[in-house]
Amino acid sequence: MKITVQRKRETALSVCGQLFVDGQIECYTLEPARLNPHYTGHPCIPAGTYRVILTPSPELGYVTPELLDVPGRSYIRIHIGNYPKDVKGCTAVGLEQAGDFVGESRLAFDQLMVLLRTATDGITATYIDPQ
């Protein structure tokens, strides 16, 4: 199963985009800013392709997609969140997007997890920067 995060725009606070699963749009994304993230040292991850596993997050308290082998980083996840302060180098998902915000995050996350739990041949996530 292939996740694609197509980054569409960047603001001073966040990187916003869309998430696709096997070419089908599923939701919007919100990541921390590249240059001046809310949490110093935790910007959006570099564009690239990463292996994904579903693991419990000790910090969040629920199972999330975890991106593996992100250069210089660990515990990078796709999870529930609404604002840049909610993501520490990770990606929040939502069904609505406005400015530096995604809404209906829990619903978007739950729908995404239903899909990802059906993967039989592994999961990858490719992050693509805006053109």
Q: Residues 70, 76: contact at Cβ < 8 Å?
A: yes
Record the pTM: 0.96
* DSSP codes of every residue in 44-66: PPPSEEEEEEEEE-TTTSSEEEE
What are the structural domains, with CATH classification, of the chain? Answer: 2-128 (2.40.440)
Distance CA 45, CA 22 (A): 21
DSSP string, 113-128: HHHHTT-SS-EEEEEE
What is the full per-residue pLDDT of the chain (131 aa) written as tens digits? Answer: 999 999 999 999 999 999 999 999 999 999 999 999 999 999 999 999 999 999 999 999 999 999 999 999 999 999 999 999 999 999 999 999 999 999 999 999 999 999 999 999 999 999 999 87
